[in-house]
A and B are shown apart, each in its own frame.
Chain A
Amino acid sequence: MIDVNVNLSRWPFRRLPCDETPRLVEKLLASGITEAWAGSFDGLLHQDVAGVNARLTAECRSSGGLLKPVGTIHPLLPDWEDDVRRCAEQHGMHAIRLNPNYHGYRLDDPVCDRLLDLAAERQLVVQVALKMEDVRTHHPLMKVPTVDVAPLEALVRRHPQARLVILNGSGTVTPAAAANLTTLGPVYFDISHAEQVGALEQLVKVVPHERLLFGSHFPFFNLESALLKFRESELGSAVSTAIQSGNAKTLMGTR
């Protein structure tokens, strides 16, 4: 299985049971995860994003190939474009991750167009995390609204070649809106926040299963949440395998 939504380092507001990389790796491997796309919690608040990405890359290197680093890009920081370059050239990353709500910009900010252009030039997948935590449980001194997805369709229309992965989006992007976005370009969605009884069975009725990716939001979420969704929903082996690994390989052009 390929988990496209993992984070290393420390969640800013409490310790998590698997927030030390060796323990995280142990759990992923024991759970059948063969590849995990890992960002860094540090990227949410740290201003030295270059340092965050360098540490992330080094940390992933120690995982025996399990962890693939996904660099943070904060496009309101000075010279952020060089962070994109470093992600691709220095760190050999295949993807970058955006946190527009933590970094203070909207998806209709012109900087997003520039960012997607640069990512395309570098052949980078762009992950957009719509939220990290239920807004109702945010620290009272740090309330971070969920990303407004109203501009998302226009953004995709302007960049129909951009390979986008929407993380933590269920409940924010409706299944119908997600289905629409898949018709406009190579837009994918992770399943970490797919919620309701029989969630995946219901989701694939609306969203093409070819555009769903196994993403756990681990270690903030229990890894078992994403895993158990495949027991609660009977999707059949072909669809399950596509979501668990095949679609990620297609996205990366590795099959």
Chain B
Amino acid sequence: MDRRLFLQTSLVLTGGVVACSAEKTVQVQTEHSSDVIWDLHCHLSGVPGETVKERVEQLLVYADRMGVQRLVFFMGWPFLSNPTPDQLRKQNDQVLEALALAPDRLFGFAYVSGEHPDESLQEIERCITSGPMLGIKLWTARHCSEAALDPIVRRCGELQAVVYQHTWLKSTGNEPGESTPMDVVTLAQRHPDVRIICGHTGGDWTRGIRAVRAVPNVTIDLGGSEPTAGFVEMAVRELGAERILYGSDIGGRSFASQLAKVYGAELTVVERKQILGQNLKRLLTPILMAKGVKLS
């Protein structure tokens, strides 16, 4: 069955109710109840609620509505682009608190910074080696292509932890220290055995996909950009579905807009399931196994 025919068929078979009214019940073609959705890219920022508990509870309500089973959190609030070591610890404490609230649903990556490599290594030991986290998040403090990040990334490799690096390719100009997908490629080529995620696929995904194409230990994150049509189709064409991870970047983004990138793309069932959850599960399985975590 070709993709287009599959899409038409699946729309009919899997249509779901979005809104009911006296006037009309509207059917839309976005429900696939068998999908296992793992969201790579979640934040506590931008979410209603004063406490971690309130925010997690609210987010899980939305996640349940959208069929998202597992969520990976990193960074607390407020967002800090170049945090001090103490701020890194506090932000990671917020995520640890969140994970404890729903350990069967939530995963975490430790927020670390190339600006503070020694303290970041300490956070890796605290949050990953001795704690429940499964990877690290690098944001915009330093370009990830810099050698200063090597000890951090090397340690992640030893732990089989995942490295998530934020990237953008802004035509308006990147922030100082803000990495591009090309920086990720430089880093990944120095650490070919480490699993590295190119966050946002550079935002400008037409260039970001091309940038990482030749480097197999780099996967891409769909989250945190506008729900532009064609993103996933190009990524599947150029990288293969197995290198694509669904992520949302909630709470600043919505599950709706980010899931739409996948549900709006013309994909086979196998590709859709890989992107929505199976790929992330595969990426995290080594460290989960190392930690003795059994998935229900």
* A230 and B48 form a contact (CB under 8 A): no
* B260 and A225 form a contact (CB under 8 A): yes
Q: By the criterion of a CB under 8 Å from any partner CB, how many residues of chain A are at the interface?
A: 49
Chain B residues within 8 Å of A194, by CB: 254
* B264 and A135 form a contact (CB under 8 A): no
Chain A residues within 8 Å of B186, by CB: none
**Chain A nearest CB: distance from B200 CB in Å?**
10
* B259 and A224 form a contact (CB under 8 A): yes
- Besides the contacts A143-B172, A231-B30, what 12 more A-B pairs have beta carbons closer than 8 Å? A16-B229, A17-B266, A140-B171, A194-B254, A197-B47, A197-B255, A198-B48, A222-B264, A222-B265, A232-B65, A232-B254, A241-B24
Chain B residues within 8 Å of A218, by CB: 229
* B124-172 residues at the A interface, CB under 8 angstroms: 168, 170-172
Q: Which residue of chain B lies nearest to A136 when distances are taken between CB atoms in the complex?
A: B170
A166 to B259 CA separation, bound complex (whole angstroms): 25
A235 to B227 CA separation, bound complex (whole angstroms): 22
* A16-37 residues at the B interface, CB under 8 angstroms: 16-18, 30-32
Q: Is A53 an interface residue (CB 8 A)?
A: no
- Binary interface profile of A, 229-250, with partner B (CB < 8 Å = 1, else 0)? 1111011011011001110000
Q: Which residue of chain A lies nearest to B27 when distances are taken between CB atoms in the complex?
A: A32
Chain B residues within 8 Å of A195, by CB: 252-254, 257
* B22-74 residues at the A interface, CB under 8 angstroms: 22-24, 26-30, 46-48, 58-59, 62, 65-66
Q: Is B272 an interface residue (CB 8 A)?
A: no
A136 to B47 CA separation, bound complex (whole angstroms): 24
* A134 and B253 form a contact (CB under 8 A): no
Chain A residues within 8 Å of B251, by CB: 196-197
Q: Assess A232 versus B255: contact at CB under 8 Å? Given A134-B226, A198-B48, A202-B48.
A: yes
* A136 and B11 form a contact (CB under 8 A): no
Chain B: number of interface residues, binned into ranges: 35 or more
* B19 and A229 form a contact (CB under 8 A): no
Q: Is A176 an interface residue (CB 8 A)?
A: no
Chain B residues within 8 Å of A193, by CB: 226
* B253 and A196 form a contact (CB under 8 A): yes
Q: Nearest 4 pairs between A and B by C-beta?
A: A222-B264, A228-B256, A240-B19, A224-B260
Q: Which of A18, A224, A237 contacts B263 (CB 8 A)?
A: A224
Most B-side CB within 10 Å, residue of A133, A222, A229, A232: A222
Q: Which of B8, B16, B18, B227 contacts A222 (CB 8 A)?
A: B227
Chain B residues within 8 Å of A, Cβ to Cβ:
8, 11, 16, 18-24, 26-30, 46-48, 58-59, 62, 65-66, 168, 170-172, 203-204, 206, 225-230, 233, 250-257, 259-261, 263-266
Q: Is A254 an interface residue (CB 8 A)?
A: no
A165 to B57 CA separation, bound complex (whole angstroms): 35
A15 to B234 CA separation, bound complex (whole angstroms): 11
A225 to B30 CA separation, bound complex (whole angstroms): 10
A235 to B8 CA separation, bound complex (whole angstroms): 29
Q: Is A188 an interface residue (CB 8 A)?
A: no
Chain A residues within 8 Å of B, Cβ to Cβ:
1, 14-18, 30-32, 133-140, 143, 193-199, 202, 218-225, 227-232, 234-235, 237-238, 240-241, 244-246
**Chain A nearest CB: distance from B148 CB in Å?**
26
Q: Which residue of chain B lies nearest to A193 when distances are taken between CB atoms in the complex?
A: B226
A31 to B29 CA separation, bound complex (whole angstroms): 6
Q: Assess A136 versus B172: contact at CB under 8 Å? Given A17-B230, A237-B21, A241-B21.
A: yes
* A136 and B250 form a contact (CB under 8 A): no
Chain B residues within 8 Å of A197, by CB: 46-47, 58-59, 62, 250-251, 253-255
* A221 and B19 form a contact (CB under 8 A): no
**Chain A nearest CB: distance from B228 CB in Å?**
6
* A135 and B172 form a contact (CB under 8 A): yes
* B22 and A198 form a contact (CB under 8 A): no
* B254 and A199 form a contact (CB under 8 A): yes
Q: Which of A133, A134, A137, A231 contacts B256 (CB 8 A)?
A: A231
* B23 and A230 form a contact (CB under 8 A): no
Chain A residues within 8 Å of B21, by CB: 237-238, 240-241
* A227 and B11 form a contact (CB under 8 A): no
Most B-side CB within 10 Å, residue of A133, A198, A240: A198
* A30 and B11 form a contact (CB under 8 A): yes
Most B-side CB within 10 Å, residue of A196, A228, A244, A246: A228
Q: Which residue of chain A lies nearest to B256 when distances are taken between CB atoms in the complex?
A: A228
A119 to B30 CA separation, bound complex (whole angstroms): 38
Q: Which of B66, B168, B171, B228 contacts A228 (CB 8 A)?
A: B66
Chain A residues within 8 Å of B24, by CB: 241, 245
**Chain B nearest CB: distance from A92 CB in Å?**
26
